[in-house]
């Protein structure tokens, strides 16, 4: 598809892209059906992530959907309403998908009240109110009051992260109460420790604290029943027996809520490497909980890119070499690396916390004990990376922030290869490396655990991509690939990513903290040798690497310390490292970056529309094909999903 349109539209700070599924039409019908059923399961959890993000989100979505149909399109303020509506749809709720700060309206509050007057009494009741005045009060508070549910995830070094975070993982609880509750359930002697709290909301009742488990017959049952239905349909057309076993255990987990069953499923999922099609579906990542207990719901359906996987497999096949040569303390290395696999995949359907903002790579499962005993499975999303690359070719960002033509040329020649290689190393051997010391719990670093883990994986990739082993394995055509990535990492970590932050704000998002932490640490530690130099040219600031070899050595030193922090559960050291290097930004440089980036008219964040899969039937209602199309607009897809997968709207998820 040479004329494939990757760019769809741009609004606010968001750019909407498409990705395409290579060779989908060439797949046999059974595989297409397997993909279709898994994709339906991926979309059926849509309401879960909305409700997890904030208890008002599902109600707000219903309200905004209705208002969008009622407001006259020729109203002068309609464009501002539409932009806010789109931003909320993109973010799966009222908080920005990346910064987690609350989105607020830019139109007049009185205008909102005038629009609400267009609602009928029946519509007002459908939204849960008997009086229009009460509806006006709540909606005004949600859209205009910046102090009300102001941040979805608070990770700053302050008092009570739970009470200041607006997510829906806890109800009427303090941080002390939450930590006490889960600390009492941890058994340090367990060889197979349960990830307590992963799939539940913790609430305070008259009888004490209670977990509302997310499973069939309990919270989110309407959505989960649909997920299970489509998973069982998928099982009937799966590629092999192991896939059937994986789906059976996942359904058992959804039906029981048992985290022991989830661990059994995770282990069996690791064993399935023969099929072309794989998927993720469940409560997995804990970035949305400042304490790292609760997992957001996500799903990804994918097909293996066989040619790219052959290259990436070289990394997993040499996982023991990477572990043995890691610059960390001997006691923090795994004696024997097992079960590490690496695949390059093409995304087919994104769901939950993977949609519309998609990851570029994934390494699962997250449970440390499973990683150590059974290994991990790492994937890199080829068609997502390709879509980013194709959309960025004409953005002008590299030309604006790279120091000179040599740096620009290096990036254009090797930037794509470098970024893919770093992702492979990060996901496969980075996350899969190292081990905890005896008695150290995986949650010991609390709010700083996710940042430390991402820094660890990034540093692992940065350190090894400049190793001669890359040439030996034929993974790079030249060691200049590492130089291109080092340039890009420092440029992004110290400058470009600032374009995503509001003036005066700190860095809150995990991956952004990680990148600045790494870049700022090596910059400061390399000052005496002038390893990285801040240079002013034509009134603009740039960062120039003077000694790539010394920079690699510094990456190794920081990796050693970050691994020590994780392996020993050194909370104080983690806090000091993150707060000192990863949170604060230079206000003057920040202002400059915002101005320079703004002149490019490029949105700093991107997300994706899913392809639309449709069953094709003959005149006897037999399924004869599954067709893929890429025609939907952003609003068409979002509104269709709201209607077709809005299972929890009338259920038990009200505030």
- pLDDT tens digits along 220-265: 999 999 999 999 999 999 999 999 999 999 999 999 999 999 999 9
Residue 187 pLDDT exceeds 80: no
* The pLDDT value given to residue 588: 97
CA distances to 161, 176, 216, 289 from 170, rounded to whole Å, are 11, 12, 20, 10
* The pLDDT value given to residue 438: 93
Would the CA dihedral through 634, 640, 645, 649 be positive or negative?
Answer: positive
How many Cα atoms sit within 13 Å of 42 on the Cβ side? 27
Does residue 396 contact residue 600 with C-beta atoms inside 8 Å?
yes
> Which is more confidently placed, 649 or 438?
438
How many Cα atoms sit within 13 Å of 647 on the Cβ side? 18
Which range has highest mean pLDDT (1-15, 391-405, 556-570)? 556-570
For residue 466, the SS3 value is: coil
Q: What value does the mean pLDDT take over residues 537-556?
A: 98
Residue 349 pLDDT exceeds 80: yes
32-90 pLDDT tens trace = 999 999 999 999 999 999 999 999 999 999 999 999 999 999 999 999 999 999 999 99
* The pLDDT value given to residue 613: 98
Nearest to 455 by CA among 515, 521, 520: 515
* The pLDDT value given to residue 308: 85
113-158 pLDDT tens trace = 999 999 999 999 999 999 999 999 999 999 999 999 999 999 876 7
> Which is more confidently placed, 276 or 443?
276
Nearest to 382 by CA among 418, 337, 332, 347: 347
Beta strands in 456-611 (DSSP E): 532-537, 540-545, 605-609
CA distances to 359, 462, 479, 496, 648 from 548, rounded to whole Å, are 28, 11, 11, 20, 53
Residue 188 pLDDT exceeds 70: no
Q: Is-cis flag, bond preceding 618, omega within 30?
A: no
* The pLDDT value given to residue 3: 73
Does residue 245 contact residue 268 with C-beta atoms inside 8 Å?
yes
For residue 252, the SS3 value is: helix
pLDDT > 70: percent of the chain: 98
- Helix, strand, coil shares of the chain, percent, nearest 5, are 50, 15, 35
Give the predicted TM-score (pTM) of the model. 0.86
Q: What value does the mean pLDDT take over residues 464-482?
A: 97
Share the mean pLDDT of the chain. Answer: 95
Q: Cα torsion at 146, 147, 153, 159 (round to 10°)?
A: 150
How many Cα atoms sit within 13 Å of 177 on the Cβ side? 14
484-505 pLDDT tens trace = 999 999 999 999 999 999 999 9
Number of CB atoms found within 10 A of residue 567's CB: 20
Q: What are the b/e assignments for 153-189, b being 16+ CB within 10 Å?
A: bbbeeeeebbebbbbbbbeebebebbeebbeeeeeee
Q: What value does the mean pLDDT take over residues 507-533?
A: 96
* The pLDDT value given to residue 310: 86
* Cα(22)–Cα(37) distance, integer angstroms: 19
Nearest to 566 by CA among 465, 428, 422, 446: 446
Q: How confident is the model at residue 654 (pLDDT cuts 50, 70, 90)?
A: low
Structure tokens at 207: 């009888």
78-104 pLDDT tens trace = 999 999 999 999 999 999 999 999 999
* The pLDDT value given to residue 1: 44
Which secondary-structure segment (H or E) carries 363?
strand 361-364
Q: How confident is the model at residue 649 (pLDDT cuts 50, 70, 90)?
A: low
Residue 189 pLDDT exceeds 80: no
For the ranges 124-138, 361-375, 400-414, 641-655, the lowest mean pLDDT is seen at 641-655
Beta strands in 74-213 (DSSP E): 170-171, 200-205, 208-213
* Cα(345)–Cα(309) distance, integer angstroms: 8
């Amino acid at each position: 598809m040479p004329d494939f349109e990757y760019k769809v539209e741009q609004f606010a700070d968001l750019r909407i892209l498409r990705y395409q599924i290579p060779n989908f039409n060439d797949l046999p019908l059974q595989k297409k059906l397997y993909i279709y059923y898994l994709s339906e399961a991926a979309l059926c959890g849509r309401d879960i992530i909305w409700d997890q993000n904030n208890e008002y989100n599902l109600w707000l979505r219903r309200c905004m959907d209705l208002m969008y149909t009622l407001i006259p399109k020729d109203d002068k303020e309609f464009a501002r309403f539409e932009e806010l509506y789109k931003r909320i749809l993109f973010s799966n709720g009222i908080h920005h998908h990346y910064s987690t700060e609350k989105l607020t309206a830019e139109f007049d509050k009185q205008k909102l009240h005038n629009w609400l007057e267009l609602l009928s009494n029946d519509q007002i009741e459908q939204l849960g109110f008997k009086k229009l005045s009460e509806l006006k009060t709540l909606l005004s508070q949600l859209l205009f009051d910046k102090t009300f549910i102001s941040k979805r995830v608070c990770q700053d070094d302050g008092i009570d992260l739970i009470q200041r975070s607006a997510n829906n993982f806890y109800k009427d609880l303090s941080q002390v109460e939450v930590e006490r509750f889960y600390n009492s359930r941890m058994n340090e002697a367990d060889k197979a420790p349960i990830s307590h709290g992963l799939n539940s909301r913790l609430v305070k009742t008259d009888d004490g604290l209670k977990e509302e488990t997310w499973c069939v017959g309990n919270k989110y049952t309407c959505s989960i029943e649909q997920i299970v239905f489509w998973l069982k349909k998928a099982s009937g057309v799966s590629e092999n027996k192991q896939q059937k076993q994986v789906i059976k255990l996942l359904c058992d987990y959804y039906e029981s809520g048992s985290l022991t069953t989830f661990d059994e499923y995770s282990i069996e999922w690791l064993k399935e490497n023969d099929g072309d099609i794989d998927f993720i579906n469940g409560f997995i990542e804990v970035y949305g909980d400042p304490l790292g207990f609760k997992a957001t719901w996500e799903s990804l359906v994918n097909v293996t890119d066989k040619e790219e996987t052959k290259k990436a497999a070289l990394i997993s096949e040499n996982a023991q070499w990477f572990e043995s040569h890691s610059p960390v303390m001997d006691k923090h290395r795994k004696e024997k690396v097992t079960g590490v696999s690496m695949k390059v995949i093409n995304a087919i359907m994104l769901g939950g916390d993977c949609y519309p903002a998609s990851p570029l790579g994934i390494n699962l499962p997250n449970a440390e004990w499973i990683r150590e005993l059974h290994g991990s499975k790492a994937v890199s999303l080829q068609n997502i990376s390709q879509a980013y690359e194709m959309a960025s070719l004409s953005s002008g960002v590299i030309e604006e922030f790279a120091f000179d033509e040599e740096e620009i040329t290096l990036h254009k020649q090797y930037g794509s290869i470098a970024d893919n290689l770093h992702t492979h190393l990060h996901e496969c051997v980075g996350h899969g490396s190292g081990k905890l010391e005896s008695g150290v719990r995986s949650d010991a670093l609390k709010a700083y655990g996710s940042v430390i883990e991402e820094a660890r994986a990034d540093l692992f990739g940065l350190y090894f991509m400049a190793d001669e082993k890359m040439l030996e394995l034929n993974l790079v055509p030249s060691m200049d690939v590492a130089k291109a990535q080092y340039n890009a990492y420092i440029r992004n970590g110290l400058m470009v990513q600032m374009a995503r932050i509001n003036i005066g704000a700190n860095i809150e998002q995990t991956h952004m903290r990680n990148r600045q932490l790494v870049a700022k640490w090596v910059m400061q530690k390399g000052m005496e040798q002038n390893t990285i130099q801040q240079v002013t040219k034509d009134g603009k600031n740039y960062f120039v690497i003077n000694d790539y070899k010394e920079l690699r050595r510094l990456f190794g030193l920081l990796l050693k310390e970050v691994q020590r922090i994780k392996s020993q559960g050194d909370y104080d050291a983690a806090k000091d490292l993150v707060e000192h290097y990863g949170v604060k930004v230079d206000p003057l440089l920040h202002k400059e970056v915002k101005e320079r980036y703004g002149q490019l008219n490029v949105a700093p964040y991107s997300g994706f529309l899913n392809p639309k899969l449709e069953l094709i039937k003959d005149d006897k209602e037999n399924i004869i094909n599954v067709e893929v199309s890429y025609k939907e607009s952003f609003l068409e897809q979002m509104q269709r999903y709201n209607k077709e997968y809005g299972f929890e709207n009338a259920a038990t998820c009200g505030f």
